[in-house]
């Protein structure tokens, strides 16, 4: 194999690594898999946490190592990259659809739109992942993980989580 095909193979293997906090998503879906490169004979896998201090990062590193070792790849290191900071804009369209089908509302706007909404006080309504209605309300700024908030849909009467925009 060439270096390029090896890197493509490793990248493909890493698309199997699930996020431990939202197991319907892979690290590729989330956009935290930043790069795979061959540097001085060692594959360097760069990942970015969804927020500083994210408790899932250790498990993600271990899962990356497990997948690579199981596939005969020994010469690698996983490096955490903090800059640029991760943003929900990096969640793939496939990842957003997976969240919706799982019952979690994906971020309803880009980070830039979200910041403008905060400044103007005009937040975009969060669509219910179950019925699609925007007749929803925030019930708690914090969900089961720090990156999610709790909402309630007044149309279908279902509680749901939203992946917070940041």
pLDDT digits (tens, 9 = 90+) for 77-93: 999 999 999 999 999 99
Domains of the chain: 3-86 (3.30.300.130), 102-163 (no CATH)
Residue 79's contacts (CB-CB under 8 Å, 6 or more residues apart) are: 44, 45, 46, 47
d(CA 157, CA 166): 27
- pLDDT per residue over 16-60, tens digit each? 999 999 999 999 999 999 999 999 999 999 999 998 888 899 999
Residue 107's contacts (CB-CB under 8 Å, 6 or more residues apart) are: 88, 91, 96, 114, 162, 163, 164, 165
d(CA 103, CA 151): 11
The pLDDT value recorded for residue 69 is 98
- pLDDT per residue over 94-122, tens digit each? 999 999 999 999 998 888 887 787 788 77
The pLDDT value recorded for residue 146 is 81
d(CA 97, CA 103): 10
d(CA 126, CA 137): 8
The pLDDT value recorded for residue 151 is 97
Among 1-5, 53-57, 91-95, 138-142, the least confident range: 1-5
Other beta carbons within 10 Å of 133: 14
């Amino acid at each position: 194999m060439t270096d390029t095909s090896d890197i493509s193979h490793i990248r493909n293997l890493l698309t199997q690594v699930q996020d431990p906090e939202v197991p319907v998503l892979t690290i590729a879906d989330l956009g935290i898999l930043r790069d795979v490169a061959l540097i001085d004979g060692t594959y360097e896998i760069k990942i970015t946490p969804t927020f500083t201090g994210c408790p899932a990062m250790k498990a993600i590193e271990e899962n990356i190592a497990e997948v690579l070792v199981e596939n005969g790849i020994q010469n690698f290191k996983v490096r955490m990259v903090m800059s640029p900071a991760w943003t929900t804009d990096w969640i793939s369209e496939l990842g957003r659809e997976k969240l919706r089908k799982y019952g979690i509302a994906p971020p309803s706007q880009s980070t830039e739109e979200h910041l403008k909404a905060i400044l103007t006080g005009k937040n975009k309504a969060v669509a219910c992942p179950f019925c699609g209605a925007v007749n929803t309300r925030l019930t708690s700024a914090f969900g089961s993980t720090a990156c999610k908030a709790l909402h309630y849909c007044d149309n279908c009467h279902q509680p749901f989580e939203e992946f917070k925009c940041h």
